[in-house]
Amino acid sequence: MHAGTMVRNLRLASGLVLMAFVTCHLANIILGIHSLAAMESWRPRLMGPWTSGLGEWLLLGAAAVHVALGLYALAARRSLAMSPTDVVQLVLGLLTPPLLLSHVVATYTAGEVSPEFTSTYGMMLAIYWSFSPGYAFQQLLLVVIVWVHAALGLYSWLVLKPVWRRISGFVLPVLFAIPILALVGFAESGKEVLEKLATDPSWKALLTDNIGRIVTFTSQLEVFQARVLLVYGALLLAAIGVLAARMLRDRMTPVTIAYDGGLAAPGRRGLSILELSLQNDIPHAHVCSARGRCGTCRVHVDAGAQSLSPLNDIERDTLARVHAGEGVRLACQARVLAQGVAVTRLLPPFADASAARVPQEWLADAAVPDREPAP
Ligand code: HEM
Ligand code: FES
């Protein structure tokens, strides 16, 4: 497998592992709609596999790989020309680590700090709802942020698959239902915990005692959290720095490409054909948002093929899948390196995901229009 395809597949696989974990966690919280006891009795089945040796390594490995490849995806960009959905997905992904950190640290270290403190749902919920409502709000925000990010990623991958027609009626409602029900479960179980705190003095005393002990370690935990945040912030800044440096360097060399319909798009060297289209408001289909998966951005190169970056493995695979003809390139992968490029867009700008699922039903590449006006 080539490097580009491997990076893409690894990011997807690690994202799916993280999503499986988050789904188990949220499913456990949904049981709070029934009772705290139901949450606890299902905990070993839903969360147990992720806290055992192999599951824990899989989860930590997936988190490390996914964050690293997320930052790499940012650093590898050549412009900020993105669809609004992509901006949302990227920003939410980048916000996740800082928001998640205190929750992970609190859950994992509480047991170490205070041996009788097992981070059961009851204990954690009591902390959130009674002792630290600010954290409760942060958890709600975190559920929304992580889920929207992951659901957008899953959707944009699945929607291009032929199987989507059969599973969409099930997948879409589930994607909406899980976070909503989890928030209801969080609220319902929170109410139950507050009642228990009010009516069970011994439980309250145990909890207060444990929290008191944890508080004495808070400054150490805060130092640890601050260090992790500092490393993450430095990596994020480095990724942004690489992107900015590349944008500045390429700015020195302007290029212009010509399109069907007599259109032209000026820009800078190194941008993809699709980025030039988007920056110049030239209508251009791009269903998978430049991930090289859908093939809807493909163009016929009418002139200047030698002024484009060479075919990469992702592009080669997708062109083969859509049975693209001679001289066809993916506009999102082919970067413009010099003047003299002229292209014809092969699919209308309104092409949707069905053009990726059943490419044969859309415009046949063989019938390259003779630089006809674009639709
Ligand atoms: C629990 C947390 C997370 C879950 C469940 C999750 C899940 C996913 C999923 C399912 C995808 C789609 C995979 C793909 O299309 O390649 C994805 C993509 C992505 N994620 Fe995450 N993710 C999480 C955290 C993060 C974090 C912390 C970052 C950033 C540091 C991040 C950055 C990205 C990026 C940049 C993409 C790729 C978009 C693209 O395809 O270009 N994610 N994530
Ligand atoms: S936008 Fe999907 S392959 Fe180019």
Residue 356 sits in a domain whose CATH number is 3.10.20.30
Is position 290 within any domain? yes
Is position 59 within any domain? yes
Is position 181 within any domain? yes
Q: Are residues 92 and 212 in the same domain?
A: yes
Number of domains in the chain: 2
Percent of the chain with pLDDT over 70: 92
241-274: per-residue pLDDT in tens?
A: 999 998 888 888 899 999 998 999 999 999 999 9
Please choose from 275, 291, 315 the residue to mutate so as to test ligand 2's pocket, defined by most ligand atoms within 8 A of CB.
Answer: 291
31-63: per-residue pLDDT in tens?
A: 999 999 999 999 999 998 998 889 989 999 999
Mark which of 196, 217, 247 sits at the end of a domain: 247
Comparing C-alpha atoms, which of 208, 188, 210 is closest to residue 200?
Answer: 208
Mark which of 213, 247, 281 sits at the end of a domain: 247
Please choose from 149, 152, 155, 287 the residue to mutate so as to test ligand 1's pocket, defined by most ligand atoms within 8 A of CB.
Answer: 149
Helix axes 84-113, 218-251, angle to 10 degrees: 160
Q: Are residues 189 and 284 in the same domain?
A: no
Q: Are residues 318 and 284 in the same domain?
A: yes
Which pLDDT belongs to residue 117? 58
Mark which of 200, 220, 247 sits at the end of a domain: 247
Residue 293 scores a pLDDT above 70: yes
Residue 346 scores a pLDDT above 60: yes
Residue 123 scores a pLDDT above 70: yes
Percent of the chain with pLDDT over 90: 55
Residue nearest to atom 13 of ligand 1 (CA): 12
d(CA 13, CA 8): 9
Amino acid type, 17: V
Is position 366 within any domain? no
Q: Are residues 31 and 104 in the same domain?
A: yes
206 CA to centre of ligand 2 in angstroms: 57
Count the neighbouring beta carbons within 10 Å of the beta carbon of residue 261: 15
For residues 60-78, give the mean pLDDT: 93
Q: Are residues 268 and 320 in the same domain?
A: yes
Which pLDDT belongs to residue 118? 63
Residue 114 scores a pLDDT above 80: no
The complex's ipTM works out to 0.84
Average pLDDT, the chain: 88
d(CA 243, CA 90): 14
Which pLDDT belongs to residue 112? 65
Is position 27 within any domain? yes
Q: Are residues 243 and 260 in the same domain?
A: no
Q: Are residues 90 and 199 in the same domain?
A: yes
Q: Are residues 117 and 242 in the same domain?
A: yes
Q: Are residues 181 and 315 in the same domain?
A: no
Q: Are residues 171 and 309 in the same domain?
A: no
Give burial (CB, 10 Å; 0-12/13-18/19+) of 241.
exposed
Is position 87 within any domain? yes
Q: Are residues 129 and 202 in the same domain?
A: yes
Is position 367 within any domain? no
Least confident piece of the model among 7-16, 119-128, 365-374: 365-374
* Structural domain of 346: 254-361
Per-residue DSSP letter, 373: P
Contact of 52 with 21, CB cutoff 8 Å: no
Strands 254-259 and 328-330: unpaired
β-pair partners for 346: none
194 CA to centre of ligand 2 in angstroms: 51
Q: Are residues 234 and 218 in the same domain?
A: yes
Cβ partners under 8 Å of residue 119, min gap 6:
106, 107, 108, 110, 111
Is position 273 within any domain? yes
